[in-house]
Amino acid sequence: MTTATTEQPRSKVAGIELDNVSKVFPGGVRAVDRITMDIGEGEFIVLVGPSGCGKSTLLRMIAGLEQPSGGRISIGGRDVTRVSPRDRDIAMVFQNYALYPHMTVRKNLGYALKVRRVDKAAAQGLVNETASLLGLDELMERKPSQLSGGQRQRVAMGRAIVREPKAFLLDEPLSNLDAKLRVSMRSSLAELHERLGVTTVYVTHDQIEAMTLGQRVAVMRNGEVQQVDTPQHLYREPVNLFVASFIGSPAMNLVEGGLDGDSVSFAGYRIPLDPGRRPAGRSDGHVVVGIRPEDFEDAAYADEGLPEIDITSSVVEELGSDAHIIFRVDAPPLAVEDVKAAAEEEDTGLLAVERATFTARVDPRTEARSGETLRLAVDPSRLYFFDAATGESLLKS
């Protein structure tokens, strides 16, 4: 895009540095607790976590809408901790779009440029270019009430883009859209970032959104960052039980177990340990065992030599590309605070459950039927182990 003639030339993107940033609200409520994080120039990073974990408060502090109680925030190497929002050169997109209802799409897109007294010709060029980028050309004379949810979201993004900011801050921008439109808009956002290359901080409680959009994902809980990593590394190498429980759909299967030399026992099953997947510093003792649903397989379609277990299917969900086998194991549900916190927004079901419920994601050719016995293969090289007391991973990263 062409830089407005009335403004000083500036970098298109800027990194964001958070140095020991905290926020304590009146009454001693600590919403954000000493977070330090470097967000690279042009990076798309997602803050994800359950409600109340502090992710939106952290975003608002980056925007300048909340003042930190401690720490420092820098954008493009400039300390902006006490700088007003309008002077930070960032653009924010809110959950409710925040469009002016009495203005047309064209005027909504150009309003920020008008306030900044950008030359009219230059402003019109920026507005037209942004509208073309987002496919809004035919909607320019409509008002927000005449637009669909997806169209309103594109206008909200356009208002941010037209300003050519150093960074975009997005606070749950897709949460008001229906499921199908959210999938479409996720693709559009990813493509938009690829084209613009602007540093983006995106807040969501939806871990699927986080995993599909983020170049890196920061998982938050109780105002603290639990782990920051690429989506795949986060999924395959969670540092603790909370991250393991929160990331993944269906969620990781977790159960208490015991190490005994070269094997691990849980829920009446005994699985030999893989030589490359042994808990660090442990040869025996009490642990929490984790198994991703896809690390089971219907034994009829599994690689030979994998250990097998017999289960009774409670529910079989045939999804076309695969099948989900839901079954109970002879162990109580894991009553660990980390796991309960990660699952607090999930439906816990209509029935009281005395035994742990597992999910296996298997080959769609399975002949499994509800209420029938099935033999499942387990991949020992994919087992996870966590300290039962601290919740920390026992696997070396």
Highest-pLDDT range among 2-11, 156-165, 233-242: 233-242
- CA-atom Rg of the chain in angstroms: 25
- Residue ranges and CATH numbers for the domains of the chain are 16-236 (3.40.50.300), 246-387 (no CATH)
Threshold 0.85, pTM exceeds = yes
Indicate if the pLDDT at residue 351 is higher than 90. no
Q: What share of the chain is helix, strand, coil (3-state, %, to 5)?
A: 25, 30, 40
pLDDT above 60: residue 27: yes
CA separation for the pair 226, 35 (Å, rounded) = 10
Q: Is the peptide bond before 250 cis (omega within 30 degrees of 0)?
A: yes
pLDDT confidence tier of residue 5, bands split at 50, 70 and 90? very low
Stretch among 2-16, 307-321, 339-353 having the lowest mean pLDDT: 2-16
pLDDT at residue 95, rounded to an integer: 81
Q: pLDDT: is 198 or 3 the higher one? A: 198
Task: Output phi, psi for 382, to 5 deg.
Answer: -115, 10
Q: How far, in Å, CA of 61 to CA of 85, rounded? A: 9
Per-residue model confidence as pLDDT tens digits over 163-201: 889 999 999 988 888 888 888 888 888 988 998 899 999
CA-nearest of 62, 144, 80, 133 to 111 is 144
Per-residue pLDDT band for 283 (boundaries 50, 70, 90) equals confident
Q: Residues 115-145: pLDDT tens digits? A: 888 899 999 999 999 999 888 999 999 999 9
